[in-house]
Amino acid sequence: MCACAGDDGWWASAVLDDGAGEQLAQCLGWPLKERFARAEGRVKAREEIDTKLSDWTRERSAEEVTEILQAVGVSAM
């Protein structure tokens, strides 16, 4: 879970496959690094990913984050 802009705003997501991982990276404007392309790499980079996601979500409301990510096929709520 990541904090979002506003009072008591939170966001949660599950990247269930490599395609969703790619969509998430593109949506956040991250270069698709090879280590993020597969689940194993994302697990190893979890702290880095969590930090970047938190930075990104703090600038947006929970509703905006959900809308942006769902529009590209990333499970978010």
- Span 52-76, pLDDT tens digits: 888 888 888 888 888 888 888 777 7
What is the tens place of the pLDDT at every residue in 21-63? Answer: 888 888 777 776 666 777 888 888 888 888 888 888 888 888 8
> pTM, whole model, 2 decimals?
0.74
Question: CB within 8 A of 37, min separation 6: which ones?
Answer: 18, 21, 22
C-alpha angle 69-65-52 in degrees, rounded to nearest 5: 90
Q: What pLDDT does 32 receive?
A: 66
Q: What pLDDT does 39 receive?
A: 83
| Strand positions, DSSP E, 4-48 | 10-11, 13-14
The whole-angstrom separation of Cα 70 and Cα 14 is: 11
Q: What pLDDT does 33 receive?
A: 65
Q: What pLDDT does 35 receive?
A: 67
